[in-house]
Amino acid sequence: MILIAIIAPWLSFLLRGKLLSALVAFILELFAVLLFLFFMPAFFVLWFIVATWAISSYNNAKADKRNRQLIRAMRYNS
């Protein structure tokens, strides 16, 4: 999933059911591609920002799921 977040951040959001984030990421990537035609360094900066956002969102979702499982296990063991 991290590879998908790097290559196509909008797809990473879409696969996890975050439709609004997917739309925003897609618009930013589309803008990045348009920037590529005129100013290449801006393309890489914008792509890096969107990919970092997607990766951090994925890692936070994984951590939240792990924490919920841990809390559930602690409740049942008490």
Check residue 62 and give its pLDDT: 96
Nearest to 25 by CA among 44, 45, 1, 8: 8
- Per-residue pLDDT tens digits for 30-76: 998 888 888 888 888 999 999 999 999 999 999 999 999 999 999 98
Check residue 43 and give its pLDDT: 86
CA distance 75 to 23: 38
Check residue 39 and give its pLDDT: 84
Q: Would the pTM count as exceeding 0.85? A: no
Tokens 């296990």 belong to which residue? 73
- Per-residue pLDDT tens digits for 12-29: 999 999 999 999 999 999
Question: What single DSSP character describes residue 32?
Answer: H
